[in-house]
Each structure stands twice: as structure tokens, then as C-alpha cells.
A and B are shown apart, each in its own frame.
Chain A
Amino acid sequence: MFRQRLTLLVAAAVSVLALLSACRTLPIDGRLPEGLSAEKITSVDKESPFALSPDGNVVAISSSGLKMFHIALKEQIDLSGDSPEKLAWSPFGNFLAAIFRKDGKSKITIYDQHGIPVAEASIDDALTSLGWLSEDEVFAGGMKVKEYKFGSNYRSILYRWSPGRGIPAADDLRNTTIQPSTYSSWKAALGRGPLIEPVGQSAQIFYLQPVAPPLFTPYYRLIIRDIDTGKELESGNVSLNSEGGSFSADGETLLIGDGIGSTKLYNPWSEETLFTSATPGKGPVLSPDGTTWFADGSLFRKSKMITALAPGVARFTPDGSRLIIRSGGSLYMVTGLKPAEGALFAQSLTAKISKLRSMRVQGLVTPAEYKETLKGIATP
């Protein structure tokens, strides 16, 4: 009787362990919530970048060189023996941009969707950000630091390039003079550059510019820049511990953490705060619909933590149902997330919304007028 019970107990324990192991392949403690599952999809270089294609099927990775990895087929194509610093797919997935760095200089290479290089440009700076403004135009961000006795001049630079049509054009964003002691204390953080992010599919970018007032703690100023006019909208300040921001797919919601103990989800256009969370918000990634986010190795939904996952860098698939996480030397995929809810803006409206945002950046419309007009555009 006792032996029978023991057998049943062992069988039950094995079943539970088997069940748990099926759900939990991420290096975390505890079970994933019901409906979520995670699996390792491939190995990658530690601390390397990756980029998920807009259709969510292919991930560009760095694994002893640049590769395109098809998630479902588990097949990969070798693109380069060099390891990239940054990767970004074009909005429609026709091209992949990669930054390679060597001796303080950078090279941007553009590959087509089959992994064939189609354009290349060299830049004499260490680029730190990469993205696309449209299917035809790539942007990169970097900074130049010139050290003087009285301090360091930190200059944020935006490069714009239409592959195949000329060379990248540099545009100075802002510059800051930072006192020697401040610069030396924050050198590592500042070395990440202006952390430029695209704002939805509109003609604006978001970046962080250090501000270092004498005798006060330095901080980042959050700035949205309208690409065509060069006008900028300041959108608050955040600690230099911040690891940047992430926009929802429609460009309406921004997630930003201060890297210490406060994460905020807000609409920079209408100046409305949606949620705040007492978490550092490191490595923030916002879901396409702007309701779920990954930060500090955990998954949040509407300011509440759903589950701890793994520390690392993540990207949502365009429909928001899957999350790819690079943690350590592995790439994981979390599935079962709630797909994007609510209506994202139709593609046909993006030009109009982009124009409205440009007018907002230029101060031609107020936050309230922006909100009202956007409502009119989205629900004609």
C-alpha cells in the first residue's frame, strides 16, 4: 500500500516537473502564467544585438557573425563573418541594416531579405543607434566627444542615408558641455550615445540628450525631433541611468524608465501619463499596441507585473502575440501573449498623423488640439 502510494507520488512529481519544464525553458524561477509558454529558439553571441523582421518570422542575429534565422523553419543564412553592433529591419521587411564597428569607425551595410548585401557606407564615428525612417531611408545615431580642460563637449549626431543614393548626411542634434568629474562618473552611460528611437511610422525621432548643469545632478532631456523641419519638442527629463525609451507601433505611447525606480508610460503628444510603475525600467520595450511592456527582465501589463522572464533585450512581434528575448547567449521566444487590441492606425493615415505630429513639434497645435484632431483622423 505504502509502495503503491510512493509510486503514485513519484509519478505525480515527475508529471509536475515534466509539466513545469515544458513551460519554463527561460532561466527564471517560478511558473509562467497560464497561456504563456517559452522556448529557446537558438544560441547567439552574449550581449549581441538582434532584430525581428516585421512579419515576425525571421530574426537577424549575431552568432559568430551576422545571420538571418528563420524561427519556424529553424534555418539560417550567413550574412557576414563580422559581428554587428546594431541591427534594424526596414518597415516592410525588404531590407536589413547592420552596423559594424572597427577601430572607432563604423560601416553600415544594407542586405536584402535574402541576405545579399546591396549597399554599404562608411562613417568615421562610432555609431550607437540604428533605425529606418522609411523603406528607402535609414538613420543612425552617434556622438562625438571632444575633451577640453574645462570639460567634455558631447555632440549628438543624426545620420540619414538613402542606400544607393549618395552617402550618409550628418545632422547635428544638440551638444552639451559636461564638467570633467561628471563626464568621468557617467562615461559608460554616455558612451551609449543619444539612444535614438523612431517614433511609430512618422517622420519624427526620439532621443536623449545629456544636460549637465554645474553643481546639479546631470540628467537626460527627452526630445522628439521632427526630421523635415529640424524642430524639437522637449518631453521631460530622466536620470542618466535610463536605458532609453520605446514607442508603441502607432507612435502615440512612450515607455521610459529612469533606471532607478520609476517607469512611466505616457503620451508625449497630448502630455497625458497613462501608467507609472515603481520599477527601474531597464531595457524597455513596449508592445505594438502600447499596453504591455518588457523591462527589467519582466513582463508588465498596464503597470502590473505579469511575470518575471529573464534579464536581457527583447522585441515584440508586430501583432504583439510573441516576445523574443535575448538573455545571455540564448534567444528565447515567449508565446501566448494577448495580440494587439484596439485599432492601430491604418497605413493610409500615417502621413496625416505624421504631419499632425510635425505641427505639434513646431508648437503650431497644443496638446489638446493634437488629441482632438487625432481623434478626428482616427475616427472620421
Chain B
Amino acid sequence: MKKSLNILALSAVAFLMSLSSLSAEECIPCHREKTPAAVKQWESSAHFKAKVGCEKCHGTDHEKMKRGEARVDMKACAPCHKKAFETHRQSRHGMGLHSGWGCTRNLEGRNQRECTFCHDKDSAEPLSQVQCARFLKQSAEMGEVGCNYCHSVESSCASCHTNHNTDLKIVRDPASCAKCHMGPDHPQWEMWQTSLHGTLYGTLGQATGPTCQTCHMPEGTHDVSVGITMSSGGIAYPPEKGKPQREKMITICSQCHAPGFASRELARGDAIQKQSLSIVKEAEKIILDLDDRNLLDPMPENRPPHPLSGNKLVIDSQLLYEDTSHIERLLFKMKKYDYARTIKGAYHQNPAYAHWYGNAELKMDLVDIRAEASRLKKGGKGGAAADSPKTGGSNAEDQLKVLRKKLERGAISEEEYAKEKKRVLEEFLKR
């Protein structure tokens, strides 16, 4: 009896397994003709060997698939790859989509499928409040290609692993990171490639030359934020958050270097970050002051509204490179390109990026911004008087407006405001 039961159970398992492979078999004849590369890749993948068929990831609704509504996202992979899924979600890649996305409800030509990126089915509550103004300024096509191709890393394993391949050789190669981590805003791939680390990799191979994965995905973790001590905008974490990460990175570096050496190298990077940030802050201060004096050209109220903040000056991480004044465009280059290149060049041990492509450009940006500010002040209604240290402006009304803006953004205290106001009104009486 027991023997019969065992045979029955084994038969059932065999039947179920055959069912799943039968399902794949149903797809294969057609898809061998229609999508031969996909079939070929799947047949040589670990999924094929483990008998993970098409329907396991794609489902069985063929019509939905044809409509392009059955894309395989991370949720399809998560049940089997639980650890990778969880560590990925906790990492910076895990918020990739939201950091480069925004609610498209009010955009023309929106694709309703996009709603599910931020909302669970039938829920109006977004999963994340983070939105990207630069994404919201794009056409639908540019948003898809220029933003989503990289930022979809949040919800798509295929973003790195590709669609039907499972060969880890692909994702262990630094080239797989290069798709997104290159170019003017954060050329980590180029920095690494032209650093000593990259040279060693290029000449002696992975055994000697560390790759992106060696330092940022140690032991194959999907938490790409390991050892990172600052935000993606280059602002250092508070010590309680940054210090443990720094210790992790020193441990990683110590696989090849003396801990003291690693610690000193990273501390140099910290120093360069601080110096460079002070240059950016000086530029921001100049632009805020011009805004106080209504001297930006054009002023925020005279431009298309910022997608998230309306007709207000925005110089934080939601800074735009389009529909702004020239001086803000200079700040965009300074912050997003040159500051990023300086600090990332320093931490990636690339002298040319840290200095010439980064820090030198940063300093030249400040020269340009100061010159542009001077030009705006000379041409502005404040004239030469706009150079007055506290307020500027040729009349009491302008001066009071400048003071109020400075108070509102916390540049001056209530006491300073009252004192300056009194002085302006006294001058007004004398005129």
C-alpha cells in the first residue's frame, strides 16, 4: 500500500513537472520563429535547466502579453530570488525608478500602465512620494528612453541581467554598469576604467583589478549602497549613518590595501567633497540673492512652471536644465556634472576626473556665475546700488522686498530683518 502511494505521489510530481514544461513547449514552436534569440537564450539559461518555463514569468494571458501589458518585473523573480530581491529593495537601486520618475497624471500622451509603477492596483496612495522634475519635463519618448532605461532598475532585474540570459558573467562585468553609470553627470565607469583599478583589470584581469562589483557589490550582494557615505546628490550622511558605511568600505578596500591607507584615501575624498561643496554653496548663495532682488533673467514667475514647485526658484536636487535662467543653467552644470565628477573622481582614485574634469571646471563655473551675476546686477533695475551688502535696490520698496525674501528663506534673522527694515524706512523718510 505504502509502495503504491509513493508511486502515485511520484507520478503526480512527474505529471505536474511535465505540465510546466508542456506549457513552455506550447510557446516554443511559435517563438522559435518569432523570437528566436529569446528562445535560444532561455534554452541555455539556468531557468531552462531548472525547468522554469515561459508561463512562470510571463503568465498565461497571451492577449495581455501581445498588448505589452505582461512585462516581467521584479515581483515575478522575487518568489524564487528572495534574498536578492530584498537586498536590492533596500539599496539605492531599489529606489531607482522613483528617483527618476514622477506622477504622469497631468502629462499629455501618458500611458496608463505607468500608474502601476507607483501605485498598487486599485490604490490611489503612491508607494513613494519622491518625484523627479527633470523626468516630468520630458516628452513621453524621452522619458522612456532617457529616464526609464536606467531608472527602471528599481523594478526590473532584466535592467542588469538582461531578459532571458542568466549567465552571471554578464552582471559581473563592469560593462553592465556602464549603461547608466557613465556620461557627463556621473561617469563612474570612465573614472574606474582610466584609474589604476581599471588599468589593472584591463591588463591583468579580475583577479588583480577590482571592478565595480568588487567594491560595490561585495560577495555578490544586491545592495549596491554598501560603503556609500553620501546621498546621490553628494551630500554627506550624518555621522551616525555615514560612519558604519565607511567602516564597511574600509573592510572592502582592506582586501587589497592596508586599512590605514584605505582610510586616508577615503578621508582625502571627504576633504575634496567638503571643499567642492563649499564652492557650490557659494554659487547657490549668489543665485538666491539674485532671486531676492528679482534679477534672474527670466524670473521664475515669468517661465513655464517647475513641474513640482510651480513658479518658484528651485536650486536643490530638483534643479532643471531647461526653462531656467542662464545662471541657473550654469549652476546645473556645476552641481550635476562638475561637482559629481570631482567627488566621484576623488573616491574612484582618478586624478584627471577629480581635478581637470571636476574641480577645475567647478571653479571656472563659479567664475562664470559671478560674472553673470555682475552682469545681471548692472543691467537690473537696482543698478549699482544693487551691490549694497544687505539689501541693494534703488528704492525702499525693492529693498524691503529683498529683505522679506531673505527672511522667508532664513538668510537673515527676525532681529536683522527688523533692524534693516528700520534703516530702510529711515532712509525712505530722508529721500
B428 at the interface (CB under 8 A from A): yes
Distance to closest chain A CB from B76 (angstroms): 49
Q: A358-B397, A369-B421 are in contact. Are A364 and B404 (CB under 8 A)?
A: yes
A57 at the interface (CB under 8 A from B): no
Interface string of A359-380 (1 = CB under 8 A from B): 1001111000100110011001
Q: Are B397 and A364 in contact (CB-based, < 8 A)?
A: yes
CA–CA, A377 and B396, complex, Å: 14
Q: A364-B404, A369-B421 are in contact. Are A359 and B397 (CB under 8 A)?
A: yes
Q: Are B397 and A373 in contact (CB-based, < 8 A)?
A: no
Contact of A369 among B397, B401, B425 (CB under 8 A): B425
A355 at the interface (CB under 8 A from B): yes
CA–CA, A377 and B397, complex, Å: 16
B354 at the interface (CB under 8 A from A): no
Contact of A355 among B396, B404, B421 (CB under 8 A): B396
Chain B hits for A358, CB < 8 A: 397
Chain A hits for B386, CB < 8 A: none
Distance to closest chain B CB from A329 (angstroms): 49
CA–CA, A318 and B397, complex, Å: 32
Chain B hits for A352, CB < 8 A: 428
Which residue of chain B has the shortest Cβ distance to A359 in the bound complex? B397
Q: Are B428 and A373 in contact (CB-based, < 8 A)?
A: yes
Chain A hits for B404, CB < 8 A: 363-364
Distance to closest chain A CB from B53 (angstroms): 58
Which residue of chain A has the shortest Cβ distance to B404 in the bound complex? A364
Chain B hits for A373, CB < 8 A: 425, 428-429
Distance to closest chain A CB from B91 (angstroms): 48
Q: Are A365 and B400 in contact (CB-based, < 8 A)?
A: yes
Distance to closest chain A CB from B81 (angstroms): 56
Q: Are A364 and B429 in contact (CB-based, < 8 A)?
A: no
Dominant secondary structure of chain A at its interface with chain B: helix
Which residue of chain A has the shortest Cβ distance to B400 in the bound complex? A364
Chain A hits for B400, CB < 8 A: 359, 364-365
Which residue of chain B has the shortest Cβ distance to A380 in the bound complex? B429
CA–CA, A373 and B431, complex, Å: 13
Chain A hits for B429, CB < 8 A: 373, 376-377, 380
Chain B hits for A363, CB < 8 A: 404
Central interface residue in A356, A359, A363, by most chain B CB within 10 Å: A359
CA–CA, A187 and B243, complex, Å: 71
Distance to closest chain A CB from B350 (angstroms): 52
CA–CA, A356 and B400, complex, Å: 11
CA–CA, A356 and B431, complex, Å: 13
Q: Are A364 and B428 in contact (CB-based, < 8 A)?
A: no
Interface string of B403-427 (1 = CB under 8 A from A): 0100000000000000001000100
Distance to closest chain B CB from A348 (angstroms): 13
Q: Are A355 and B397 in contact (CB-based, < 8 A)?
A: yes
CA–CA, A359 and B393, complex, Å: 15
Distance to closest chain B CB from A362 (angstroms): 8
CA–CA, A75 and B180, complex, Å: 90
Which residue of chain A has the shortest Cβ distance to B425 in the bound complex? A373
CA–CA, A376 and B429, complex, Å: 7
Chain A hits for B428, CB < 8 A: 352, 355-356, 373
Distance to closest chain B CB from A226 (angstroms): 10
Q: Are B396 and A359 in contact (CB-based, < 8 A)?
A: yes
Distance to closest chain B CB from A135 (angstroms): 24
CA–CA, A369 and B422, complex, Å: 9
Distance to closest chain A CB from B40 (angstroms): 64
Chain B hits for A376, CB < 8 A: 429
Chain A hits for B397, CB < 8 A: 355, 358-359, 362, 364
CA–CA, A363 and B400, complex, Å: 10
Chain A hits for B421, CB < 8 A: 365, 369
Distance to closest chain B CB from A372 (angstroms): 8
Chain B hits for A356, CB < 8 A: 428
CA–CA, A377 and B426, complex, Å: 10
Chain B hits for A359, CB < 8 A: 396-397, 400
CA–CA, A355 and B400, complex, Å: 12
CA–CA, A369 and B400, complex, Å: 12
Which residue of chain A has the shortest Cβ distance to B422 in the bound complex? A369
Interface string of B386-400 (1 = CB under 8 A from A): 000000000011001
Distance to closest chain B CB from A357 (angstroms): 11
| A:200-227 near B, CB below 8 Å | none
CA–CA, A380 and B429, complex, Å: 8
CA–CA, A369 and B423, complex, Å: 12
Interface string of B45-64 (1 = CB under 8 A from A): 00000000000000000000
Chain B hits for A355, CB < 8 A: 396-397, 428
CA–CA, A376 and B396, complex, Å: 15
CA–CA, A133 and B400, complex, Å: 25
Distance to closest chain B CB from A351 (angstroms): 11
Distance to closest chain B CB from A358 (angstroms): 7
Chain B hits for A362, CB < 8 A: 397, 401
Chain B hits for A380, CB < 8 A: 429
Extra 11 A-B pairs, beta carbons < 8 Å, given A355-B396, A376-B429:
A355-B428, A359-B397, A363-B404, A364-B400, A364-B401, A364-B404, A365-B400, A365-B425, A369-B425, A373-B425, A373-B428
Chain B positions within 8 Å of A, measured between CB atoms, are 396-397, 400-401, 404, 421, 425, 428-429
Ranked 4 nearest A-B pairs via Cβ: A364-B400, A376-B429, A373-B425, A359-B397
Q: Can you report 28 residue pairs joining A to B where beta carbons are below 8 Å apart?
A: A352-B428, A355-B396, A355-B397, A355-B428, A356-B428, A358-B397, A359-B396, A359-B397, A359-B400, A362-B397, A362-B401, A363-B404, A364-B397, A364-B400, A364-B401, A364-B404, A365-B400, A365-B421, A365-B425, A369-B421, A369-B425, A372-B425, A373-B425, A373-B428, A373-B429, A376-B429, A377-B429, A380-B429
